[in-house]
């Protein structure tokens, strides 16, 4: 990868402390955007039917919460890829490989994602929001949770690799000290997220059948853990800066 010149870096806009080296969309980013749009379209089509009466409309509307959460999660994943692309603007072979792998994982886990959320709402509403998916045995439910955990573990691993790849080229990208620090913070959070996914996977494989639905609450740990990591990393940065002595 060629070293970015200072003139280019200086004219890059700044957002949240990062120079946006990839503000102009690359071809791989266009491809990823199209793939995510296709995934959302398939979620809409999977509703299966067009209502022909008010009763059918009311019945179909009960699947809206699962659809909204599925789309929101896809949008969250897409948004983070977009942020990474804007910050670093990389389009080398490894970036293309990682982006294609991310698209493949998202497309494979798209339908299980909606299935999980549909079953979740059916469970917490005691069937008022019905699921169109039939699960008759705990082992089927166990398989779904294992499948779900593997999908999120792969996504976490891919994003961790994205940020690690950017750090490897910090000199060529001319990342500032704060940019290197914040990129490292993102990488640490993704490692923690991967560990949570692996914990959820382990629990899904080992707990008794009646406890399987509760293993999904492990993912809630991402929020407090993310805030704690950000807090610790900010303190480390502030401490390191306060220890820097000005040159007279």
pLDDT tier, 69 (very low <50, low <70, confident <90, very high otherwise): confident
* Per-residue tokens: 114: 């909606």
112 CB-side CA count, 13 A: 18
What are 16-46's pLDDT values in tens digits?
889 999 877 778 888 899 888 888 887 776 5
Give the CA-trace dihedral at 176, 224, 71, 132, to 10 degrees: 160
CB 174 within 8 A of CB 9: yes
- Quote the longest CA-to-CA distance of the chain: 79
CB 205 within 8 A of CB 142: yes
Exposure of 60 by Cβ count < 10 A (0-12 exposed, 13-18 middle, 19+ buried)?
Answer: middle
Q: Where are the alpha helices (DSSP H) in the chain?
A: 6-11, 27-45, 54-61, 64-88, 93-108, 110-124, 138-168, 170-173, 177-206, 222-242
Cα separation, 67 vs 69, in Å, equals 6
Percent of the chain predicted with pLDDT > 70: 91
* Per-residue tokens: 192: 């923690």
Q: Model-level pTM greater than 0.85?
A: yes
Q: What angle do CA 214, 189, 89 make, to 5 degrees?
A: 125
Packing angle of the helix pair 110-124, 27-45 (nearest 10 deg)? 40
| Stretch 113-138: mean pLDDT | 78
| Stretch 79-100: mean pLDDT | 92
Cα separation, 192 vs 226, in Å, equals 8
């Amino acid at each position: 990868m060629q070293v970015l010149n200072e003139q280019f870096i200086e004219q890059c806009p700044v957002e949240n402390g990062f120079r946006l080296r990839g503000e102009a969309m690359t071809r791989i980013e266009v491809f990823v955007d199209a793939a995510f749009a296709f995934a959302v379209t398939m979620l809409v089509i999977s509703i299966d039917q067009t209502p022909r009466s008010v009763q059918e409309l009311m019945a179909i509307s009960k699947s809206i919460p699962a659809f909204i959460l599925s789309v929101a999660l896809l949008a969250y994943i897409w948004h983070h890829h977009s942020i990474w692309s804007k910050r670093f603007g990389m389009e080398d072979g490894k970036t293309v490989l990682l982006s294609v792998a991310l698209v493949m994982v998202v497309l494979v886990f798209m339908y299980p994602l909606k299935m999980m959320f549909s079953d979740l709402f059916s469970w917490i509403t005691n069937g008022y929001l019905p699921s169109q998916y039939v699960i008759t045995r705990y082992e089927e439910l166990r398989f779904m949770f294992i499948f779900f955990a593997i999908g999120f573990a792969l996504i976490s691993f891919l994003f961790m690799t994205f940020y690690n790849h950017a750090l490897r080229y910090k000199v060529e990208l001319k990342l500032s000290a704060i940019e290197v620090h914040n990129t490292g913070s993102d990488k640490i959070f993704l490692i923690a997220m991967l560990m949570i996914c692996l914990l959820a996977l382990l629990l899904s494989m080992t707990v008794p059948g009646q406890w399987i639905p509760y293993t999904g609450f492990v993912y809630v740990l991402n929020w407090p853990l993310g805030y704690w990591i950000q807090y610790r990393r900010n303190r480390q940065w502030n401490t390191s800066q306060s220890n820097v002595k000005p040159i007279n």
